[in-house]
Structure 1
Amino acid sequence: MIEFIDVHKTYTNEVKALHAINLKIEQGEFVAIIGLSGAGKSTLLRCINRMHDITKGKLIVNNIDVATLKGKEIRRFRRKIGMIFQSFNLVTRTTVLKNVLVSFVPDAPLWRKWTGVFSKQHKFQALTALDKVGILDKAYVRVDQLSGGQQQRVSLARTLAQHPDIILADEPIASLDPVTSKQVMDDLKDINQNMEMTILMNIHHVEVALEYADRIIGVRKGEIVYDGKAADVTQDILDDIYGGKREDMETIEQEEAYV
């Protein structure tokens, strides 16, 4: 469970990114956060795993008060929260398998970190994760030989190998074409349904959010202006979330995709 209780976030330059956020997400939900760029979507997501510290309020994740964690406690806490980025964050000059095995490094003995030698159990877990996202056949291929969609699936496999309770996806399909976007979103949906894993996704593509997520959270200027079922979202609700600017944003995004 994730619970925001009157959470505020103000950056050092006095920019107020989040204001009075009250939100509860239960285990196994698939939630999409939508809104204009700069609305606070990424900040909301990144506060959950302490990539950003909140300024005021309380954030509870699986009965842990996130703001009270320190040092090793933060690293241990993050092991149960997978993070998928728009930029993939992979080591492109090595193999797919080695990129997935990286997920075991924080818990590995010092000698394994120095030698880069992993146990058979770790390799089995990594290969199983690759199989779940449909790229087991790419295990020994260098990452820089893969398409963007395949690289994002490697990133997803690396996250799955951790056996997290929650996956946070920050614009997971922003740099992908429509076909590979569908493959990645299908993977996320399968993981959510078959593994009952909570998925919280920040996304610009409204139609994709409505198709795949069960619940939509609309953010505008750091505040939640909609929280409800995806099936209940109307054009009036979207106009309220985007301030009537959604069509302009989509036009810009489509132009950027082809530059």
Structure 2
Amino acid sequence: MIEFKHVNKKYPNGFEALKDIDLTIGQGEFVAIIGLSGAGKSTLIRTINRMHDITNGTLTVDGTDVMQLHGKSLRAFRRRIGMIFQSFNLVTRTTVIKNVLTAFVPELPWWRAALGIFTKAEKTAALEALDKVGILDKAFVRADQLSGGQQQRVALARTLAQNPQIILADEPVASLDPVTAKQVMDDFQRINRDMRITILINIHHVDLALQYATRVIGIRAGRVVYDGPAGEVDGAVLDAIYQDRKEATA
């Protein structure tokens, strides 16, 4: 379970990205976070794995105070949380399976990591992860020969190889065409349903958020202005979330 209690985040330049956030996210939820660019969506999910530190308040994951973690304990904690980015973050000049195998590198002895030596069990786990996202047949293809959607699936397989309890996704389909975006969202939905992994997606596509997520959190200017079932999001809710855009164009 993820709990935000009166969480604030202020950057060194004085910008307040998060303001008094109170949220509880249970294990196995599929949550979409929506709002304008700059509203605080990315900051919110990146505080969960300490990519960004909160300024004050309390943020706990399964009872662990995230801000109390340092060094080895922080690295171990992050192993439980997968992260998917818009830009895929693959080594494009090597094969798909080698990209997935990098999920094991943080736990390897330095000499195995340096030489790229992986056990049969690790290779099997990498292939199983690729199978779960439907691209097992691409295992020995160079990553730069794949489409954008296939590359995002490789990134998702790499995350699954970590055996995470939580997956954070920061605009994972923003650079994909509508058909491919839907295919990737199908993968997230299936993983959430079948593996009961908690998924939090920061997403600009409101239609996809409402179609796939079971819960929607709307953020405006660093504050939560909606938190509820996706099926209850209506025009009034969207007006509240995107009010700043309406005012700018009025």
TM-score by length of 1: 0.94
Write the deviation string for residues 132-181 of structure 1: whole angstroms up to 9, x where unpaired. 00000000000000000000000000000000000000000000001111
* 1:106 correspondence with 2:100: no
Would you say the 8 A contact 1:34–1:217 is kept in 2? yes
SS in 2 for 1:164: coil
CA distance in 2, matches of 1:66, 1:84: 20
CA distance in 2, matches of 1:38, 1:180: 26
Identity, in percent, stands at: 67
CA distance in 1, matches of 2:121, 2:89: 24
CA distance in 1, matches of 2:88, 2:113: 22
- Counterpart of 2:155 in structure 1 is 155
Q: Which amino acid in structure 1 is aligned with residue 71 of structure 2?
A: G
CA distance in 2, matches of 1:125, 1:91: 19
SS in 1 for 2:12: coil
Write the deviation string for residues 221-244 of structure 1: whole angstroms up to 9, x where unpaired. 000000000000010100110006
Write the deviation string for residues 34-80 of structure 1: whole angstroms up to 9, x where unpaired. 00000000000000000000000000011110000111111110000
CA distance in 2, matches of 1:56, 1:7: 6
CA distance in 2, matches of 1:178, 1:25: 28
Write the deviation string for residues 78-107 of structure 1: whole angstroms up to 9, x where unpaired. 000000000000000000000000000000
CA distance in 1, matches of 2:70, 2:178: 41
- Counterpart of 1:164 in structure 2 is 164
Q: Which amino acid in structure 1 is aligned with residue 20 of structure 2?
A: A
> What pairs up with 1:174-213 in 2 under 5 angstroms?
174-213=174-213
- Counterpart of 2:85 in structure 1 is 85
Question: What is the root-mean-square deviation of aligned Cα atoms in Å?
Answer: 1.1
SS in 1 for 2:44: helix
Gaps of 5+ in 2: none
SS in 1 for 2:32: strand
CA distance in 2, matches of 1:153, 1:48: 22
- Counterpart of 1:256 in structure 2 is none
Gaps of 5+ in 1: 250-259
SS in 2 for 1:217: strand
- Counterpart of 1:232 in structure 2 is 232
CA distance in 1, matches of 2:154, 2:233: 32
SS in 2 for 1:245: helix
CA distance in 2, matches of 1:94, 1:55: 39
CA distance in 1, matches of 2:216, 2:70: 32
Q: Which amino acid in structure 1 is aligned with residue 62 of structure 2?
A: N
CA distance in 2, matches of 1:182, 1:139: 22
CA distance in 2, matches of 1:185, 1:51: 24
CA distance in 1, matches of 2:77, 2:5: 19
- Counterpart of 1:24 in structure 2 is 24
Q: Which amino acid in structure 1 is aligned with residue 198 of structure 2?
A: T
- Counterpart of 1:69 in structure 2 is 69
- Counterpart of 1:123 in structure 2 is 123
Q: Which amino acid in structure 1 is aligned with residue 2 of structure 2?
A: I
Q: Which amino acid in structure 2 is aligned with residue 21 of structure 1?
A: I
Q: Which amino acid in structure 2 is aligned with residue 64 of structure 1?
A: T
Q: Which amino acid in structure 2 is aligned with residue 165 of structure 1?
A: Q
> What pairs up with 1:46-57 in 2 under 5 angstroms?
46-57=46-57
SS in 2 for 1:128: helix
SS in 1 for 2:52: coil
SS in 1 for 2:73: helix
1:245 is displaced (CA, Å) by 2.8
TM-score by length of 2: 0.98
Would you say the 8 A contact 1:239–1:245 is kept in 2? no
Q: Work out the number of aligned pairs and report it.
A: 248
Q: Which amino acid in structure 2 is aligned with residue 61 of structure 1?
A: V
